[in-house]
Structure 1
Amino acid sequence: MGEKVGLPCCHEIPSSESLYNYRVYWQKNTTEVVLAYAAGKMISKLERYENRTEMDDRNLTLWISPVEILDNGPYQCVVQHLGILQNPVVVCDEPVTLFVTADFSNPNITAEVSNHSCESAEMVVSCSSHGGFPKPKISGAVNNMSLMWNTSRVSKSSLGLYNVTGKLWLNITKDVSFTCSIEYNGFVKSSSWLLKKPNECVVHTVPPSYNVITASSIIIIVFLLAITLAARYLPRHVCSHCCEPQDSVEEGVKECMKPSMSSKVTSETSSV
């Protein structure tokens, strides 16, 4: 696209004659007359080819410049020789096909980590290219091993150019080389990208179940209640065996040595 191309005709006028002795028709798709000559003069030219086409008056080559996407397709050169009585005789009638190519942009590769752990990483890889012709084929490879795209989409612009996008979900355990290739009309555009496994190690912990949380809460509550009750009643129990303070140390010792009435009754009851 954008270059100058010459479409060869099936006949060349000999040096002894001139274009005046011929009728030449250049047609596209057998329905559109690109241009036509008769008796050495142009008699017709398609508007879309205005200021973009010219014909060699000796070898009848059709030159197109600049080439557009819509110029792609089959053409036909029809040559008629005009005799003495101006009766046209078909000299040749052969087709020629023009393949127009528009280069795609270098594939743009992006990668996003969707999830990862210590062992592996899940990645979403995208590859896109635009502005090319004809309709392309997109392919991908990891470490030179071909992969099928999970999704691929090809769209066509108003100018007849194609855009292509592909997406791939990968699970990698180490750094790998990813290659995206766009193939069109025998041409290939490729780009490579190093997919790196994240260095961070994320350990996925399982949250405790509802029963475990409930049981743990009950144990903690019981433990706290036990501590509270112990702190409240343990000093009173210990002091019940202690002696009341006396006026003097000597009297206190005597009081402690005296058995209580209840103890004596208990002992006598036991003896009986």
Structure 2
Amino acid sequence: MQLTKMAKKTRSYRKMMCLPASPPAPALRTWLRLGLFVLLCLGIGQALEKKVVKSKVGEKVSLPCCHEIPISESLHKYRVYWQKNITDVVLAYSEGNMISKHKRYQNRTEMDPWNLTLWISPMEILDNGSYQCVVQRNSVVVCDESVILFVTADFSKPNITAEVSADSCESTEMVIMCSSHGGFPKPRISGALNNMSVEWNATWASESSLSPYNVTGKLVLNVTKDVNITCSIEYNGFAKSTSLLLKKTNDCFVPPVPPPYNVITASIIIVITFILAITLAARYLPRHVCSHCCKGQNSVEEGVKDSMKAPLSDKGTAETSSV
């Protein structure tokens, strides 16, 4: 509590330093003071800006402090506090000795005795957050500065699956699923269809805000030709992508269109008539031909008989004339 009160006093003191210290003087002196006032405020503003450090789970990270102990001095003259989110003391040094360390950081943290850098290894997702380095000398706050630590856990390579939900000669309807797991922080899922962006219907799952995330994206497409789809998982400046070729069903068989009912009826009548005509022709035509053949044969036989009778009559006539 004493440390927090002193830090607040130091901040208020810094704000007071940004106010003009004397009433207006001549024009030149006024402009000079105004310039110094602006430079001082800019310098303090930059000093109060929070630094940002990024790291991945399992790596070793260094968090810089706002003060470096001169060579002529030593850590014994200082009190150093590294705390997270103001409430949890990561570790603390007094007169050169460690006086406190958080149990979650046991065997994972160390501090450089000169530049007061805090080293954390290996990184965990729970290490994500804001850290403050507070340095005191003779009970006076020398510096108080924050560092934002962003911890990243890699997601698995996206897995894409495609299932045909409906198919026709014109198009193939597919349900596309893209999933990835085990990463941090909460990711963004994006995609492209033949280099044109598409929006996924995404869902996320995580036990807490500081736990690994699982993400799943769903997309329904009508595929009219072979296309390439890409699914990308983006998180904290990193990205992982997977592509899949979606093929249109090519073996589309178009069944023949049946003829109208009237055409079928007319065709049946024609076929039946044709069959009856052939049957009748086969039954009556041979008899007609045979009758003609028989008549011709009888006439020939009669002619032969007549020719044979003729000489006999001649002979009879001759005999009669001789008598």
Q: Same fold (TM over 0.5)?
A: yes
Q: Indicate the residue corresponding to 1:156 in structure 2.
A: 206
C-alpha displacement at 1:200, in angstroms?
2.1
- The 5 Å alignment of 1:182-261 reads 182-201=233-252, 203=254
* Maintained 8 Å contact 1:117/1:203: no
CA offsets 1:213-240 (integer angstroms, 9 cap, x no match): xxxxxx9xxxxxxxxxxxxxxxxxxxxx
Q: Which amino acid aligns with 2:79?
A: R
Q: Indicate the residue corresponding to 1:243 in structure 2.
A: none
Question: Does residue 179 of the first structure (1) align with residue 179 of the second (2)?
Answer: no
Please identify, of 19-28 and 155-164, the stretch whose mean Cα deviation from structure 2 is larger.
155-164
Question: Does residue 57 of the first structure (1) align with residue 113 of the second (2)?
Answer: yes
- The 5 Å alignment of 1:1-272 reads 1-82=57-138, 88-149=139-200, 151-157=201-207, 160-201=211-252, 203=254
Local SS of the residue matching 2:205: strand
1:53, 1:204 → 2: CA distance? Answer: 75
* Maintained 8 Å contact 1:175/1:196: yes
Q: Which amino acid aligns with 1:33?
A: V
Max radius of gyration: which structure? 2
CA offsets 1:157-197 (integer angstroms, 9 cap, x no match): 47710110011000010000100011111111111111111
2:192, 2:163 → 1: CA distance? Answer: 17
Q: Which amino acid aligns with 2:92?
A: A
Change (3 A) 1:182 1:204: farther
Change (3 A) 1:28 1:117: same
- Structure with more helix by fraction: 2
Change (3 A) 1:115 1:63: same
Q: Which amino acid aligns with 2:202?
A: S
Q: Indicate the residue corresponding to 1:224 in structure 2.
A: none
Local SS of the residue matching 2:126: helix
Q: Which amino acid aligns with 1:22?
A: Y
Local SS of the residue matching 1:99: strand
2:58, 2:256 → 1: CA distance? Answer: 60
1:5, 1:161 → 2: CA distance? Answer: 20
Q: Which amino acid aligns with 2:199?
A: M
Change (3 A) 1:176 1:164: same
1:67, 1:23 → 2: CA distance? Answer: 26
C-alpha displacement at 1:146, in angstroms?
1.0
Q: Which amino acid aligns with 2:206?
A: K
2:58, 2:207 → 1: CA distance? Answer: 17
Identical aligned pairs, as a percentage?
73
C-alpha displacement at 1:199, in angstroms?
2.0
Q: Which amino acid aligns with 1:154?
A: W
Count of aligned pairs between the two proteins: 206
2:256, 2:224 → 1: CA distance? Answer: 20
1:4, 1:168 → 2: CA distance? Answer: 39
* Maintained 8 Å contact 1:116/1:202: no
Change (3 A) 1:24 1:121: same
In the TM superposition, structure 1's runs of 4+ consecutive aligned residues that sit over 2 Å from their partners are: 202-206
2:203, 2:250 → 1: CA distance? Answer: 33
Structure 2: gaps (5+ residues): 1-56, 258-264, 266-323
CA RMSD of aligned residues (A): 2.3
Local SS of the residue matching 2:104: helix
TM-score by length of 2: 0.60
* Maintained 8 Å contact 1:114/1:124: yes
TM-score by length of 1: 0.71
1:81, 1:198 → 2: CA distance? Answer: 77
1:49, 1:160 → 2: CA distance? Answer: 18
